[in-house]
Structure 1
Amino acid sequence: MAKKPNTKKSKGELGLLSLTALVVGSMIGGGIFNLMQDMSAEASLLAIIIGWLIAGVGMVLLAFSFQNLNRKRPDLDAGVYSYAEAGFGKFMGFSSAWGYWISAWIGNVSYAALLFGSVAYFFSLFDDGRNTASVIGASVMLWLVALLISRGIKASGLSNLIVTIAKLVPIGIFVVAIMTAFKYDLLTADVWGKMLEGSPDLLTQIKSTTLITVWVFIGVEGAVIFSGRSKKRSDVSKATFIGLSLVTAIYLLTTILSLAVLSQPKIAGLSQPAMAGVLEAVVGEWGAILVNLGLVVSVLGGWLAWTMFAVELPYQAAKNKTFPKWFANENSRGVPTTSLIITSVLVQLFLLSFLIPNLNAYSFLFSLASSAILVPYLFVALFQLKLSLKEKKSTAGRTRNIIIGALATVYAVWLLYAADINYMLLSVLLYAPGALVYAIMRINQKKKPFTTLEWVVVAGLVLVAIYAVSQLAISGSDLNLILFPAE
């Protein structure tokens, strides 16, 4: 039986403007600094515009789903995965939590790749951010942060403020500078992307933007956490819609305006972060210095908070008995040390991807992180639809919520369809060990590992994982070339 909606009046002090600012600030991450290159390498101007419109609408639908579920089922406060568990069973809840966790720590590795690409601008020792020195530097940062967290250090309001300023100042200057150098003829010279040799058709180009848009929108569920701080509950939905619309507009501006300054092939060939190269082309060297410095401060400042987030996920899941109980082990300071160590070791292993010849580590890692989070997002949309359909016909807003759930589900399915099949196969290789972890956990709890339906799902997962391994082993296969690209 569904719980009664949380109808208590909010006692917060944040109005619509403040809420909107919080949504925007929490959404924009370090990924924006290389967004124009990521997009230009995959799609034409028209495909980029369509891709952003699809993503903007889809993410608003997901955000509204999060808000409705948060209001209707306030008891499900253990994390995004709790919706999958409540709607579709323990194993689906575990899988959602597992995928969300994978996305979180792989996302941290991708930011490390972007960070040392910027550090390399100031120190040639790090070359292009993909060498042994970069791995050592990132490893030192990783374990230093782990040590700080183990001692109970937490991200402060000051560090969050510094991170926000470091992100927004370069972005603001970038947009203004690019607008002054806007060249309409250059922007419209190649709307379809036919200048690039072997350019794919429009649909393929739109699909290629999918993982990029998901990457920069990861964290959309964070908009929900501000609901308890609002003066009026109705402002939360408004702030979410306005905030996400503004974020979409900012992403759209940074990618489109860049194409009005440099050609698509030139942007696609820029070093990371591409925003530095574009701004340098307009205002000179100081533009590149500003962007690289802003990115370094932003990532360094945010590393602690991002690591804590990745560590907190399995810890909370373990407390909810969704993950093995040892993930909930704490030290004397109340820090989940087991979760911290396991997460840090996994990040350390993936830092070695910096050394794979010809691999764009940042692009590879954010695409993998985006692929891993698609399943949790699908479960959220499905639960929104399921919960709304089960409500009485007289329930206020039922029709609206059914439509939101249906469209959000369509968007989530589109994401799975449009995402690169090779990255989805790699994601399966990361999901598959989770089934074994879950089975061991259930056996230790004196319970059956899986229901009949879950056994079917696990069998399918294992078969796909075996296929993925076989493709990885074949030199020159599409999957093999993702991880080991040719020169």
Structure 2
Amino acid sequence: MTEQKSTNNTVSLWTLVSLIIGSTVGAGIFALPQNAASVAAPGAMLIGWAIAGIGMLSIAFVFQVLALRKPHLDSGVYSYVRAGLGDFVGFASAWGYWLGSVIAQVGYATLFFSTLGHYIPFFSTENRWTSGIAVSILTWVIFFMLTRGIQQAALMNVVTTVAKILPILAFIILVAFLGFSWDKFTLDIWGRNGGSGSVMDQIKAFMLFTVWTFIGVEGASVYSKQSRTRRDVGRATVIGFFSVLALLVTVTTLSFGVMTQEELAGLSDNSLAAVLEHVVGPWGGALVSLGLMFSVLGAYVSWQMLCAEPILLMGIDGLLPARFGRVNRAGAPVAAQLVSTIVIQICVVVFFMNEATYSFMVQLATIMYMLPYVFSALYLVLLATRGRGMTHPHAGTRFDDSGPVVSASDNRRHLLIGAVALVYSLWLFYAADPRYLLLGCLLVVPGLIPYVWTRIKSGDRIFNTFEWVVVALVILGSCYAIYGLTSGTLSFA
């Protein structure tokens, strides 16, 4: 495949790199020391990062390759899934990605107010309902802002990006020179005495946290049409990815050299601040906490705006009622934003009533995010092996299998990328705690109601044979989830 010049070549290589770093480095890194130590010792953690590095890079390249091979698919990440595997699987992926964003919103808010509660007891973890009410108010205030077409100003994006990167860099420098102890890092490097299970069990448990920290790494592919050259997209993906990976691995490695695994596992959600406070005193914790609150607040506003995007696109594409695809005079998708805000509010009530932890919300959201990842990887494998996806009801229109001519060598490379990403994605589902898979199935089921109603109203076939199998598996999993919740064997905690 030859390099192509863009007709609107305004986005430079380093702008693409900054987009990846800005969208990927979020709240996850601030909770990473505690998250990692709660399931893995230092040795298993490093192996987990190596696996995650290969797997997540392959997923990032899946979206880059699909953007090159299918430039006419412009309805976001889920459009590849819909083109390759049909309407319902595409819908389920978009629905899952949307719910993952909704759950992530509640996780962001929980982390924000728990950090604030460290300094203002009114919002401490003992006063969960105070934080719950504050989250609800914040959510609805942002909703009314967004309905008026108000988006984040460029200045706010700059401030929040700088505010989260500087404390992380300060953490790395101060801990590396003042607090890291190699003896402490290697004291129980494989977790033999920590009760974390075998090394493989530790790696499996650690993997979902790694995915959470990489959400957004496919960002450069979104701007492939505006890049100066297509090659810049690949370069930016590699540079941005390894920059983020270096930050994540450095933060977790240094943390294990400051405190033991048991001590790290007992920290609060904002564990990055606690580790730096352990090294330099209270001012270090305050510095990181301030950066975290700026970062999370900026992410909360932007992600609430983005939460509406999958609903808007599915309304436009006819997978949900058309009203969800409409915008008001200010250009805001009010119906999509309203339903997203209502579901965020429901999640706040459910999670706070059941005392769900930040860790629980992260892992459940990650499972939902994985749906478009695994199916997009499968689509690339199908393209590379048979030249097309599965039979699609709209073949011949916008979801045909036309695209640029691909050389045999490029096709082999694409097959390798897709296969690695698919194996990695499936292994993540295998490694996940089964309760997150069951709850994920349960969360997909409500989406069947508007989907089926829309299909009946439009006169389209509801499900094909392959989709019936998928629906049956989803319903079976949701039945197990309902039984677990009612019997007490499954919980939100």
Q: TM-score range by the shorter chain?
A: over 0.9
Equivalent of residue 190 in structure 1, options 188, 206, 230: 188
Structure 1 residue 31 corresponds to structure 2 residue 28? yes
Structure 1 residue 377 corresponds to structure 2 residue 390? no
Label 1:408 to 1:129 Cα distance change in 2 as closer, same or farther (>3 A): farther
Structure 1 residue 409 corresponds to structure 2 residue 422? yes
Equivalent of residue 358 in structure 2, options 351, 359, 362: 362
> Which amino acid is the alignment partner of residue 380 of structure 1?
S
Aligned-partner SS, 1:75: coil
Report the Cα distance in structure 1 between the residues aligned to 2:359 and 2:126, rounded to whole angstroms: 13
Once the two structures are superposed, the pairs formed by residues 79-478 of structure 1 within 5 Å of their partners are 79-128=76-125, 131-180=128-177, 181-196=179-194, 198-353=195-350, 355-356=352-353, 359-391=355-387, 394-395=407-408, 397-475=410-488, 477=489
Equivalent of residue 43 in structure 2, options 41, 46, 51: 46
**TM-score scaled by length of structure 1:** 0.93
Q: Contact 1:118 / 1:292 at 8 angstroms: preserved in 2? A: yes
Aligned-partner SS, 2:211: helix
1:269 Cα offset (Å)? 0.6
Q: Contact 1:117 / 1:129 at 8 angstroms: preserved in 2? A: no
1:350 Cα offset (Å)? 1.2
> Which amino acid is the alignment partner of residue 150 of structure 1?
T
Report the Cα distance in structure 1 between the residues aligned to 2:243 and 2:429, rounded to whole angstroms: 25
Aligned-partner SS, 1:209: helix
Report the Cα distance in structure 1 between the residues aligned to 2:127 and 2:277, rounded to whole angstroms: 22
**TM-score scaled by length of structure 2:** 0.92
Q: Which moved more, 1:277-286 or 1:19-28?
A: 19-28
1:394 Cα offset (Å)? 4.3
1:193-229: CA deviations, max 9, x gaps? Answer: 1222x32111111010121111111112212123334
Q: Contact 2:327 / 2:334 at 8 angstroms: preserved in 1? A: yes
Q: Contact 1:182 / 1:257 at 8 angstroms: preserved in 2? A: yes
Label 1:143 to 1:194 Cα distance change in 2 as closer, same or farther (>3 A): same
Q: Contact 2:164 / 2:295 at 8 angstroms: preserved in 1? A: yes
**Runs of 5+ in structure 2 lacking a partner?**
388-404
> Which amino acid is the alignment partner of residue 187 of structure 1?
F
1:371-426: CA deviations, max 9, x gaps? Answer: 11112111110111111223588445111111111111111111111111111111
> Which amino acid is the alignment partner of residue 373 of structure 2?
Y
1:315-339: CA deviations, max 9, x gaps? Answer: 0221122332221233332311111
Aligned-partner SS, 2:125: coil
Q: Contact 1:314 / 1:327 at 8 angstroms: preserved in 2? A: yes
Report the Cα distance in structure 2 between the residues aligned to 1:325 and 1:333, rounded to whole angstroms: 18
Aligned-partner SS, 1:162: helix
1:283 Cα offset (Å)? 0.8
Report the Cα distance in structure 2 between the residues aligned to 1:135 and 1:373, rounded to whole angstroms: 24
Q: Contact 1:102 / 1:369 at 8 angstroms: preserved in 2? A: yes
Report the Cα distance in structure 1 between the residues aligned to 2:127 and 2:174, rounded to whole angstroms: 30
Label 1:276 to 1:129 Cα distance change in 2 as closer, same or farther (>3 A): farther
Report the Cα distance in structure 1 between the residues aligned to 2:32 and 2:296, rounded to whole angstroms: 15
Report the Cα distance in structure 2 between the residues aligned to 1:229 and 1:237, rounded to whole angstroms: 13
Q: Contact 1:117 / 1:130 at 8 angstroms: preserved in 2? A: no
Percentage of matched positions with identical amino acids:
39
Aligned-partner SS, 1:306: helix
Q: Contact 2:320 / 2:451 at 8 angstroms: preserved in 1? A: yes
1:67-118: CA deviations, max 9, x gaps? Answer: 1110111111101111111111111111111111111111111101110011
Q: Contact 1:40 / 1:264 at 8 angstroms: preserved in 2? A: yes
1:149 Cα offset (Å)? 0.3
1:63 Cα offset (Å)? 1.0
Report the Cα distance in structure 2 between the residues aligned to 1:337 and 1:281, rounded to whole angstroms: 46
Label 1:22 to 1:452 Cα distance change in 2 as closer, same or farther (>3 A): closer
Q: Contact 1:212 / 1:367 at 8 angstroms: preserved in 2? A: yes
> Which amino acid is the alignment partner of residue 281 of structure 1?
H
1:124-149: CA deviations, max 9, x gaps? Answer: 00112761110111111100000100
Report the Cα distance in structure 2 between the residues aligned to 1:147 and 1:437, rounded to whole angstroms: 25
Report the Cα distance in structure 1 between the residues aligned to 2:137 and 2:10, rounded to whole angstroms: 41
Report the Cα distance in structure 2 between the residues aligned to 1:350 and 1:192, rounded to whole angstroms: 37
Q: Contact 1:5 / 1:73 at 8 angstroms: preserved in 2? A: no
Report the Cα distance in structure 1 between the residues aligned to 2:66 and 2:406, rounded to whole angstroms: 18
1:354 Cα offset (Å)? 5.1
**Runs of 5+ in structure 1 lacking a partner?**
none
Report the Cα distance in structure 1 between the residues aligned to 2:7 and 2:164, rounded to whole angstroms: 31
Report the Cα distance in structure 2 between the residues aligned to 1:193 and 1:394, rounded to whole angstroms: 48
Report the Cα distance in structure 2 between the residues aligned to 1:414 and 1:10, rounded to whole angstroms: 40
Report the Cα distance in structure 2 between the residues aligned to 1:393 and 1:354, rounded to whole angstroms: 48
Q: Contact 2:61 / 2:218 at 8 angstroms: preserved in 1? A: no
Q: Contact 2:184 / 2:258 at 8 angstroms: preserved in 1? A: yes
> Which amino acid is the alignment partner of residue 181 of structure 2?
K
Report the Cα distance in structure 1 between the residues aligned to 2:319 and 2:233, rounded to whole angstroms: 30
Q: Contact 1:258 / 1:278 at 8 angstroms: preserved in 2? A: yes
